[in-house]
Amino acid sequence: MLYNELKPFPKDFLWGASTSAYQVEGASEEDGKGKSVIDMMDHPEDTAGFTVASDHYHRFKEDIRLFHELGLKGYRFSIAWTRIFPEGTGEINEKGLQHYEELIDELIKYGIEPIVTLYHFDLPYALEEKGGWGNREVIDAFVEYARILFNRFGKKVNYWLTINEQNTLILHPGAVGVPKGGKLPTKTSLYQQNHHMLVAQGKVMELCHEMCPHSQIGPALNMTSMYQATSKPEDAIAAHNWETIRGWSFLDLAVHGKYNNLLWSYLENRGWQPEILEGDLEAIGKGHPDFIAINYYSTATISESTGDASDVSPRAGDQQIMLGEPGVYRAEENPYVDKTKYGWVIDPVGLRLTLRKVYERYNLPIMITENGIGAPDVLNDDGSVRDDYRIDFIQAHLKQIQWALTDGVEVFGYFPWAALDVVSTHQGYAKRYGFIYVNRGEFDVKDLKRIKKDSFYWYQKVIESNGKDG
């Protein structure tokens, strides 16, 4: 063992929990909200849609009272761009601003820090029709949207997140829905979108520093570590390939404003490199995030690519289940870890490793903005929800965060997914993550009653004791 004693959580550690607008709010056509890509894409037919979700839009006051009872010090939520600009640009919808103002004020009333994600997968459909992130005009639209939010909420919000999981959007676009007709964008167009998002993000971070000098802002990526399947040197290269292409290349741009050399060679080799206009790299480089937010769920195990189609696993992939890519890597099973019921690897030690690597590489404080276990929780007749597996999952991850703190990594907040049950990105309502059970089925929305799970009472003690009991 490297140390005899674990460091305690810092005194002002931000204990929180997360959600995103389209997965929790519902009210998808109310108060002037415009349609987003999520409203217009195809989602699996046998799972719940997002029109009612958890009805947080109408019940946020009741939910925040529960968050207060849980003891949350922070709540991470996203603002739906389409509530502010129904068409993505142009006319502002005051009702949308009012809604988030009330939500932020309610949080502050209870001493809960609002952590605001500007964009969590739900691009306004009006912009998508003009080419979405593939169209450079979206850069200005995003900057204008952010300007309105900084102007209205800048004095009340201390922490902003730019784009949630840009790497999921680019590498696993199907995880957030498939455009009608079923065709996903080509790699060339995805990397062009990626470039525009990076320029937009750089400009928005710079703007935040100008308009809200007391606030902090950072990117929120889905980060993880890749293990090499054996000590074969070629497996090590493959693991490094995928760890770089999937994770580091995004953070290298967000933090240093530089295209990672390996990513660039990979893109060039395939003819997938984006068009970069004069001033773009400068704009990306001027962003200077104040911290890095990471969403961590799983690790993956990698071996050398055989170079042909057999590299691509026949399993269904998503943001956590790696598929393989000819010439780059093959995905392997890891015999040392368990999996969730949905096939996601459970690897708390991988979180410590990922935190170490992120900190060593960028030297910026880290906020963990997602981590959790999706499970088909059951509401018992006595009104209880016995989610001991969630307690075990979070407990094990918290222990590894403490190890990372002991390693000298600066972690200042933990926001498990999710504060309450929400609709999963592509696996419906039965895949639950919350500390609070929401009484609805896949299609039957029932009474949407809020019920505290066992993990609620457990996390309450963790927060109360600043991580000592748990």
Binding positions for ligand BG6, rule: CB under 6 A: 20, 23, 164-165, 168, 222, 295, 319, 370, 374, 417, 424-427, 431
Minimum separation from the CB atom of position 455 to ligand BG6 (A): 16
**H helices of 271-347, where?**
280-285
Q: Are 343 and 321 in contact (CB under 8 A)?
A: yes
Minimum CB distance to ligand BG6, residue 201 (Å): 16
Minimum distance, C-beta of residue 236 to ligand BG6, in the bound complex (Å): 27
Q: How far is the CB of 211 from ligand BG6 (least distance, A)?
A: 26
Looking at the Cβ atoms of 274 and 428, the one nearer to ligand BG6 is 428
Task: Enumerate the active-site residues.
Answer: 165, 370
Minimum CB–partner distance for residue 121 and ligand BG6 (Å): 7
Task: Answer yes or no: are the C-beta atoms of 77 and 463 closer than 8 Å.
Answer: no
Q: Which single residue brings its beta carbon nearest to ligand BG6? A: 424
One-letter amino acid identity for 275?
E
Taking CA atoms, 204 is separated from 126, 148, 197, in Å, by 21, 11, 10
Q: Write the single-letter amino acid at 350.
A: G
Q: Which is nearest to 124 in space by CA: 135, 116, 109?
A: 135
Alpha-carbon torsion, ordered 353, 116, 244, 131, to 10 deg = 160
Distance set, CA 385 to CA 224, 342, 378, 422 (Å): 30, 19, 6, 16
**Which positions ≥6 away from 154 have C-beta within 8 Å?**
208, 211, 212, 215
Give the residue ranges of DSSP H helices in 271-384: 280-285, 348-362
Q: Which is nearer to ligand BG6, 280 or 377 (CB)?
A: 377
Q: Which residues contact 161 (CB under 8 A, 6 or more apart)?
A: 76, 115, 116, 117, 118, 217, 218, 219, 220, 293, 369
Considering the complex, state which of residue 273 and residue 320 has its C-beta at the smaller distance from ligand BG6.
Answer: 320
For the residues of 164-190, what is the DSSP string, one character each? ETHHHHHH-GGGG-B-TTSPPPPHHHH
The amino acid at residue 283 is A
Largest CA distance in the chain: 64
Pick between residue 283 and residue 300 the one whose CB is nearest to ligand BG6.
Answer: 300
Q: Count of CB atoms within 10 A of residue 51's CB?
A: 12
Residue with tokens 């790497």: 167
State in angstroms the smallest separation of the CB of 374 from ligand BG6.
Answer: 4
CB of 51 to ligand BG6, least distance (A): 17
